[in-house]
Amino acid sequence: MSMPRLFLEGLLRPPLTEPAPELDADDLAALAGRLEVGSCNGCELELHALANAFYDIERLGLRFVASPRHADVLLVTGVVTRNMREALERTFAATPAPKWVIAVGGCALDGGLFKDSYACVGGVDAVLPIDLRIPGCPPSPTALLKGLIALMEGPWRTRQDSNL
Answer whether residue 6 is part of any domain: no
Q: The sheet that has 132-134: what strands, in order across it?
A: 73-77, 100-104, 132-134, 160-161
Q: Tell me the per-residue pLDDT of 72-95, one tens digit each, with 9 for 90 and over.
A: 999 999 999 999 999 999 999 999
pTM over 0.75: no
Answer whether residue 114 is part of any domain: yes
Residue 159 above 60 pLDDT?
no
Q: Tell me the per-residue pLDDT of 44-58, one tens digit each, with 9 for 90 and over.
A: 999 999 999 988 999
Answer whether residue 27 is part of any domain: no
Answer whether residue 22 is part of any domain: no
Domain total of the chain: 1
Q: How far apart are CA 47 and CA 67, in angstroms?
A: 17
**Using alpha carbons only, what angle is made at residue 43 by residues 28 and 51, rounded to the nearest 5 degrees?**
120
Answer whether residue 86 is part of any domain: yes
Q: Tell me the per-residue pLDDT of 115-125, one tens digit each, with 9 for 90 and over.
A: 888 889 989 99
Answer whether residue 28 is part of any domain: no
DSSP string, 9-68: HHHHSPP-SPPPPP--HHHHHHHHHHHTTS---HHHHHHHHTTSTTT-GGGGT----S-G
Q: What is the residue range of 79's domain? A: 40-161
Answer whether residue 3 is part of any domain: no
- For residues 144 and 104, the answer to whether their CB atoms sit within 8 Å is yes
Long-range pairs, 62-68, Cβ under 8 A, ≥24: 62/148, 67/94, 68/92, 68/94, 68/95
Domain CATH code at residue 83 = 3.40.50.12280
Q: Tell me the per-residue pLDDT of 3-43, one tens digit each, with 9 for 90 and over.
A: 888 888 888 887 777 777 777 778 777 766 655 555 688 88
Answer whether residue 19 is part of any domain: no
